[in-house]
Amino acid sequence: MEDMIAKIVEMDKKARDMTEEAQKNKLDYENQVIAKRESIKNDFLERAKKRISINQESAQKKADASLKLIEERDSAVISRLDSVYKENCDKWVDEIVSRVTEG
């Protein structure tokens, strides 16, 4: 009888040890999952930041190129307007004076 009680106590201790080990393994696994999730999230965020930086540089280059083209076009238009003004300034002044004095 005592032998049987000792075996029951030993089996109970083994069962508690196994339960404790399973709980420890479960916590370890949960911690690993949390760490892996954080690692994946951080990796994703880092790659996203790099892509944003690259896209930002590319967009800035395109904007600078567009601005340069616009400035060149505007400069050409201003130059043409200045040229037309210089060629026709006296004629326009005479025409305005003529219309005002005749009217």
Instruction: Quote the pLDDT of residue 1.
Output: 80
Q: For residue 17, give both structure tokens.
A: 């040890």
Q: How confident is the model at residue 102 (pLDDT cuts 50, 70, 90)?
A: confident
Q: Concatenated DSSP letters for the chain?
A: -HHHHHHHHHHHHHHHHHHHHHHHHHHHHHHHHHHHHHHHHHHHHHHHHHHHHHHHHHHHHHHHHHHHHHHHHHHHHHHHHHHHHHHHHHHHHHHHHHHHHH-
**Which of 32, 9, 28 lies closest to 20, judged by CA?**
28
Identify the residue with better confidence: 26 or 1.
26
pLDDT band, residue 103 (cuts 50/70/90)? low
Q: Is the pTM of this model over 0.75?
A: no
Give the SS3 label for residue 1: coil
Q: Across the chain, what does the average pLDDT equal?
A: 94
What is the per-residue pLDDT across 34-83, written as a single tens digit (0 to 9) for each? 999 999 999 999 999 999 999 999 999 999 999 999 999 999 999 999 99
